[in-house]
Amino acid sequence: MWSALSPLLRLPLLLFLFLSLGLLHSGQAQQRPRTTNVPEDVRPTPRILNAPQPNSPTRDTTAAVSGTPDSLNVAAGGRKGAVETTVKYKAQDSIRFEVQNKRAILYDKANVDYGTMNLKAALITVDYSKNLVTAEGTKDSTGRVQDRPLFKQGAETYQAGRIDYNIKTKRGRITDVVTQQGEGFIHAETLKKNALGEAFGRNAVYTTCNLEHPHFYINASKMKLVPGPKQKVVTGPFNLVIGDIPTPLGFLFGYFPSPKSNKRASGLIIPTFGQAADRGFFLRNGGYYWAANEHIGVRLTGDIYSGNADRFGGWRGTAEMQYITRYRFSGLFSFNYSEQPTERLLGSTDVNTNPAYNIPRSSRNFALAWNHTPVARPNGGRFSANVNVSSNNYYRQNSYNQRLYLTPAFQSNISYSKQLRNAPINYSVNLSQNQNTQAGTMDFILPDVSAQLARQYVYELLGLESRGKIYEQLAFSYTVRYNNTLSNSLPARQINGGAIPLLGGSNQTTVLPVRFSNLNKLLRNSQAGMQHDFGITLGSFNLLKYFNFNPGVTYGETWYFKELNYQFVREAQAVRVDTTRGFYRLYNFSANASLGTNFYGTIVRKGTHKIQALRHKVTPQLTFSYSPAPASPLDRNNRNQPFQLVQLGDLRDPSTGQLYSESALYRDNQGGLLLPRFSNSLFAARTTRDVRLLSFSLQNQVEMKVRNSNDTTGTTPFNKVSLIDGLDFNTAYDFAAPSFKLQDLNSSFRTQVARKLSVTVTGRFSFYQRDSLGVLKDKYLWQQDKIRLARLADASTTITYQFNPAQGNRKSTIRRDVAPVNDPSLGSPTRIDPYEDYVDFSIPWDLNTNLTVTYRDPGPLPSRPNRVRPNAYTGASLNLNGSVKLTETLRFGFSTNYDFVNKTPAFTNLDITKDLHCWQITGNWRPFGPTRGYFVNIAAKSTLLQDLKLSRNKTFLNF
């Protein structure tokens, strides 16, 4: 009957049939709303082929379909269909509809979208009678399968040989499947998926290698994939297979958490294990990571060492908390504590490669670090912290990091600053600490408070309008600072290098241990002071059209809360020193004026030369400063004195037997000795004598204008190139100085060539003569028979060059990929080994050089057998670091230093990295220096399997 219909009648009939089945002519199928005004179908019932028996289930050979044969609402008044949303489908070749079988077959590059589900394959069959979608690939002429089915549902992706999926039950079966879960890949012979999104695999493997035939995998007969925010992979008994070779490494079950990249999860941290040469077997960096919320992550890890026999090898614990609030602040707090024996527990017969044993100085050590970084906000307070406090030997006993191992001092600082809104006042509060791990000294500044009043113009405060008058430039500013310092270093008290006997205090520096029992002594050793500075700006004036004249006046006061009192004790023939508390002040006044200008020398070339012009900029400046001396110590009624006059009575010089009061040194002071009242205070006296200082500076810059050959639009026809970044000179002459009025001439030269070569030269020249012993005389070099202008006293030269292949781009523009983080988003512990997580194989080679040479005048004395003339070159070192790509997967890197003065290499690092696709081999060798040793590591690159590795090392710490 169908063949008897004309083509004109076939098209309307097909359209009517598809509409009745719920399929749109545009290739979309959607559920029709139920209506009550649709007339009954009066057509004859068509003949149905292979009609099922009443109440009999539909046959499902894939185990993915269940229920009654027809789940579609094909007529008015029928029940609700299984198609819950729009079905979009398309194919590149053709789409065939089998109306009687209720099927649609899509050929070549077929694509079906149903809600969050997307299916692509070479051949897709949609069976509406069974709610079943089937996808398969096709073989080409060589027998290779093309357009294998690709199934996506939400964030999950499956690639397989065949896919059967039930739209109604959302269950499916996938054969020969490959899917990705987090960083891992699942290969399974058969995978069944239920309505909850869970997948059950048979004869499956788990790997982090993204190849079709992976280099290694975990083989399990049963596997389950659990979706959700805490997606995971759970297996039954498994074993590890490397290079298609089964290994006995395995367990009764496997658990592989695979959190999404933007999600964090709490869980155990599996420790690494190994053998320490001095402390026995160890488990290291094992513990627990707790993702408290989206802002805080806590990591608790530890190490434990077995020791030898009944002697425990010690342990180390680390607690870290990282926090972050977007657009406000971020920070990391960590605390480390370790206990270890102070003697070697295990011996070694390895003479050649095992370094000398590093004997621990103490059994218990700790290290505390806190870093808090705020996000700058307008008119908001800024709180920041950078704290690093540790025992004197923690990093020398627990860190492989050369910088931490060799650094003798650590600084900490906590600060808060704020600019008051609608007010020209800002203030800051700082707490800081300086620690010297070698000397064992600690200095605390608790606190350092300062406030500043920005420059205020007088005419604005008086409410006057600006008319361009000179008096409108009159302005003032004010700064106040309070500082309190606490130190465990008690300074030595000496007079004239210890020649004069002293009562009170010690003539040697004493270091107190920082503990609560010494708190009183530490508080007594504290120093506090306050400084005030009141500045008056008189304005800026142009003189003779080209000169800029800037005068100013400053008044300052320094407040002290402790004073040293000296008294000569005749019975003891010594000077007694007492510390008294009270309020003491020193004030000072100074005036200054500067005169400066700029002038240029320019050479312009006509025509189309490559070098179009040269320009030389010269900036000379003269500055005169005047500050009167404070009150003389002879004026006992004036307390503005930084010194105290002490009468020495009949005290004699033990070397000459002469009375100190009769020597020329003390005759001008009426036989007395001038001693500082505020020695070792925070703020030194601003001035102790008259100052009339004339300073001179001269700055030079040379630039070149070069024609831009790359400009085709005419917008930037020339480029500026700096030939000399700076050629500067400065010196000063003090008219009030008793001797050596002319100060040394300091000079510096800076230039950079082609953004690769950087040269810096500094020098200091002296204008004075010296005697045969090298002691300076108050006579100028041009006053001697052999006239000279100046003598080079010391100099330094630093040359830096960066070698690298341009590859059409300058090094500064070569794209540098950010190394992937091998840790969760929050809480990254300080790694104990120096391995790099990431190596850029796109750069063929790279070399950076730095040569530093320092010179000091050795003096006029020649070398003799009993007197060696000092080397003029006090330092000459060459630093090299770089890397080279030997092959596409092998890279060698190094950093070294050679001291030409001592003729020794130091701190040499040799690194090698081999990329094995999903594995990586890294090695590090330090042949010289106190941190000598080697590391070798073969590990999987995935962070999920970061504990799947083999490590070997021997270092100065004997781990």
pLDDT of amino acid 356: 56
Of 720, 764, 727, the C-alpha closest to 743 is 764
Can you give the pLDDT at residue 590? 92
Predicted local confidence at residue 810, as pLDDT: 42
pLDDT tens digits for range 129-187: 888 889 998 888 888 888 889 888 877 788 888 999 888 888 889 898 888 877 788 89
Averaged over 394-423, what is the pLDDT?
Answer: 81
Strands 502-503, 574-596: pairing is parallel
Q: What's the confidence (pLDDT) of residue 751?
A: 93
E strand or H helix that includes residue 275: strand 272-276
Quote the CA–CA distance of 883 and 844 in Å, as a whole number: 8
Band (pLDDT 50/70/90 cuts) for residue 562 is confident
Q: How far apart are CA 756 and CA 718, in angstroms?
A: 21
Give 728's Cβ-side CA count (13 Å radius).
15
Using only C-alpha atoms, the chain has a radius of gyration, in whole angstroms, of 42
Q: DSSP state, 682?
A: S
Question: Distance between CA 191 and CA 165 in Å, rounded?
Answer: 12
Q: What are phi and psi of 660, to 5 degrees?
A: -60, -35
In what helix (H) or strand (E) does residue 523 lie, and over which residues does it extend?
Answer: helix 519-524
Contact 676, 642 (CB under 8 A): yes
| pLDDT for res 23 | 36
DSSP letters of 849-875? EEEEEEEE---SPPPBTTBPPPPSEEE
- The residues that bridge with 452 in the sheet, in sequence order, are 426, 479
Contact by Cβ (8 Å): 934, 953: yes
The residue among 331 and 711 whose pLDDT is bigger is 331
For residue 328, the SS3 value is: coil
Chain segment 630-680, per-residue pLDDT in tens: 877 767 677 788 888 888 777 777 777 777 766 666 655 666 778 888 887
Transcribe 467-497 into DSSP letters. ---GGGG-EEEEEEEEEEEEESEE----SGG
The pLDDT tens digits of the residues spanning 337-384 come to 988 887 776 665 554 444 555 666 678 888 899 999 998 877 778 899
Residue 30 has pLDDT above 70, yes or no: no
pLDDT of residue 70: 43
Is the model more confident about 822 or about 709? 709
E strand spans, 628-690: 643-647, 672-676
Q: In whole angstroms, what is the distance from residue 95 CA to residue 79 CA? A: 28
Higher pLDDT, 458 or 20: 458
Q: For position 102, what pLDDT does the model report?
A: 87
293 DSSP 8-state letter: S
- pLDDT of 294 reads 85
Dist CA 130 CA 829 (whole Å): 55
Q: What is the pLDDT of residue 883?
A: 86
Model confidence band, residue 864 (pLDDT cutoffs 50, 70, 90): confident
When pLDDT is cut at 50, 70 and 90, the band that residue 414 belongs to is: very high
- Reference 224, options 209, 213, 216, 235; nearest CA is 235
> pLDDT category, 767, cuts 50, 70, 90?
very high
Residue 10, pLDDT score: 42
Largest CA distance in the chain: 145
Is 945's pLDDT higher than 80?
Answer: no
Please determine, for residue 72, whether its predicted confidence score (pLDDT) is greater than 90. Answer: no
Residue 536 pLDDT > 60: yes
Quick one: average pLDDT of 113-125? 87
The model's pLDDT over 224-281, given as tens digits with 9 standing for 90+, comes to: 988 876 778 899 999 989 888 898 888 888 888 776 655 667 888 878 777 776 777 8
Q: Dihedral through CA 125, CA 126, CA 131, CA 134, nearest 10? A: 30
Tell me: pLDDT of 436 over 70.
yes
Rounded to 5, what percent of the chain is helix, strand, coil?
5, 50, 45
| Element housing 520 (H / E) | helix 519-524
Q: Report the C-alpha gap between 307 and 278 in whole angstroms.
A: 8
**Average pLDDT of the chain, as a whole number:** 79
Range with the largest mean pLDDT of 192-196, 285-289, 511-515, 622-626: 622-626
Return d(Cα 159, Cα 179) in angstroms, integer: 6
pLDDT the model gives residue 277: 67
Q: What is the pLDDT of residues 87-108, one digit of tens each?
A: 788 888 888 888 888 888 999 8
- As given in the structure block, the two tokens for residue 696 are 């001179």
pLDDT for the residue 796: 96
> Do residues 159 and 174 make contact, with C-beta atoms less than 8 angstroms apart?
no
Q: Looking at residue 259, what is its pLDDT? A: 63
pLDDT bracket for residue 835 (50, 70, 90): very low
Q: Which tokens belong to 679?
A: 């020695």
Residue 730 has pLDDT above 90, yes or no: yes
Contact, 244 vs 237, CB < 8 A? no
Q: Is the backbone peptide bond immediately before 447 cis, with ω within 30 degrees of 0?
A: yes
Q: Which two tokens stand for residue 588?
A: 């000072």
The predicted structure's pLDDT at residue 765: 95
- How far apart, in Å, are the Cα atoms of 936 and each of 215, 318, 532? 21, 25, 59
pLDDT tens-place string over residues 319-338: 999 999 888 889 999 999 98
Q: Which two three-digit tokens encode residue 230? A: 């805490």
Reference 130, options 182, 71, 178, 80; nearest CA is 71
* Phi and psi angles of residue 665, each rounded to the nearest 5 degrees, phi first: -65, -30
